[in-house]
Structure 1
């Protein structure tokens, strides 16, 4: 008989990620983790190998746009721009990986939610995966449409001298942390067919928790080797967050 999850409403967003680390490798869960893990390893491994090869040259070129009277800032800005580049690569390739792995991440979230709430997972999960594929891909497209206009605005901001090399990288990190939370918490929301605007508004009500979860995911996605394991762990942590904070709110779905 599945054991019910002990709700802890005081867990921080960051705490849910590390709770996901425990959940992802429990017996029964590991088989649902395997496919997302393989997809993440292949895509992020290749992306970061490319990034580490070219990063220094890209940043030096970017800093060449600084006015001469601000050249002294280059020593401060180099690490900020490195972080911005890491964030960009991390989010971009994580998004691609999540598009490919979305049906399997949804299945992982569905199984884990059933386990955490003491229910029996549906027997037709794999059949439902195929049936729900168009809806799942449509949801990923909705997230991309939400992301792109804001991302383009921030990228334009990065080309403004001084502002683009100072404030913009910080805003870029915060925005992508927010998007990481949306990306992963949306799997259990979408399993219950909660509309995207309602999911987004629910996260805004607990913005601090959402940002801290996304920030940890974002930071660890920037760390080589560790980033290969982030996707399934984040799905598990986000599902635990859904069970503790949102599931009862959306029982009507």
Structure 2
């Protein structure tokens, strides 16, 4: 139950994240709105032509009396519309994720960035990503359909079919919905679909808690669109929990393979040599126009071993106080 509650918290935290980042919430609404408009158009066409479809499907009732013929064809038309609506509900998330692959990948990357960073993932062309997403979504849909058929048959069991089976159905749908939504962040971590399924099975309670809460939200048609960006953000947070990404330890950058910050070069035996320049160079160059500064307190240095040199052009000076 602890993991189940944690899954619900991830769903709530995802909605809170998009509430704090309104621009990304609007950005994530675009694929859901496109899918909704397309599905509404298809359902509108189905409703308009439901009578013709029922008449085409029941040619055996052409010769029946009018009340019976109309009753059967109305029932067939209503069943066709109901099946179309059910298929729309079952496939809405998968189709939205397929259409919104570039949108939700950017949204997931933004969540990773704000939460401390995440893996970049392989650099694949867009068509390759769409093909991989469609293939994975189809595989998940087939698995969910298999469980759906089994639960549908169990629904005919008295009492159990009306009480236990619907709860199990919500949990199963929630698990596969979590598989769909966590596909992008887990795929960036290099996990194939089988590995993702194995990882989510190891945290089944958390996956069911996240997905079951989302299934209950999606029962309200408007919330199916409004809650989709938060569901993607919450699935990214859940993926970070079950498959944390660790940044590789970086090394300090060096000036060069053989350079030392002090300018020392290694010797031939591998030992570090002495710095080539122990003192930093003078940043102020000498001014060529500056005269040398004389020290007035410095006495000239006389060499006692140096004989005075006579000037041949100088006349000897007579001493007036000397007697001849």
Match 1:158 to one of 143, 152, 159: 152
Secondary structure of the equivalent of 2:221?
coil
Deviations 1:112-165 (A, max 9, x none): 21221157x98xx9xx6x824313431331232243145145326525772395
- Across the aligned residues of Structure 1 and Structure 2, the Cα RMSD in angstroms comes to 3.9
- CA 23–137 in structure 1, closer or farther in 2 if over 3 Å, else same: farther
CA offsets per residue over residues 32-57 of structure 1, 9 Å max, x none?
Answer: 42423433543566689899xx9xxx
Normalising to structure 1: TM-score of the pair?
A: 0.66
1:114 aligns with 2:108: no
Gaps of 5+ in 2: 51-82, 249-324
Q: Find the counterpart in structure 2 of residue 243 from structure 1.
A: 240
Offset, 1:105 = 1.3
Paired residue for 2:199, among 185, 202, 209? 202
State whether residues 25 and 229 of structure 2, in contact with CA within 8 Å, keep that contact through their aligned partners in structure 1: no
Residues 1-253 of structure 1: matches in 2 within 5 Å?
12-25=6-19, 26=21, 29-30=24-25, 32-43=27-38, 89-118=88-117, 131-152=125-146, 154-155=148-149, 158-159=152-153, 162-163=156-157, 166=162, 168-248=165-245
Distance (whole Å) between structure 2 residues aligned to residue 182 and residue 28 of structure 1: 26
Matches of 1:245 and 1:205, distance apart in 2: 9
Check whether the contact 2:154–2:165 (CA below 8 A) recurs between aligned residues.
no
Which structure has more relative contact order (CA 8 Å, sep 6+)? It is 1
Corresponding residue for residue 277 of structure 2: none
**How far is 1:191 from its partner?**
2.6
Pair member with larger Rg: 2
CA pair 37-12 structure 1, distance change in 2 beyond 3 A? same
Secondary structure in 1 matching 2:190:
coil
CA distance in 1, matches of 2:219, 2:43: 9
